Structure 1
């Protein structure tokens, strides 16, 4: 019966003090929080910055005559480049003006000519 009442309020006994457990758990919480932030940074923030850097480089190296693919799947050849938009020609008479953020892939003019030459060589 003594075991049941040993943790009762006002009971005298050797109970663990709150100050010894609070300091240990405080440091472990800070370390856990730092590890969580490091994982978040290396798994989410750093790859996103790399993708943005690659995109900016791709768009800045784009020039007239390059073939582009938009995020909507439209394929066209670059006719004119402005500050925030580009004008692409999708067929013989259709011209579209899209924002630079809508470009998914830039296919260089040289790469296409190499592919066409390889196809001609195979025939």
Structure 2
């Protein structure tokens, strides 16, 4: 069928996949690209004083800039150590990750990617 295949630079025919590729995001902890469906979105919520609390957004519907994280405590630890949340969410000052840590602990976030 026309349109099912395309030609490469070498002139070979390559079949296109039947389904489109899933959107890709990068984990702020380990910096590995993965399907959006395999990552947890995290958004910033203003907290008391100058501290900002991170809130897990498993449905991906909360307003605001989001950072993506594998649902793994190791990736959360890496992101905290690298201060990646503040950089990805364009925040200044301390970031409270207690709600995200609790979400991962209750969701079984100790499995590998």
Does the pair score TM above 0.5?
no
Q: Which has the larger radius of gyration?
A: 1
TM score, norm. by length of structure 1 = 0.26
Q: Normalized per residue, which structure has more strand? A: 2
Q: Which has the higher contact order (CA 8 A, sep 6+)?
A: 2
TM-score by length of 2: 0.27
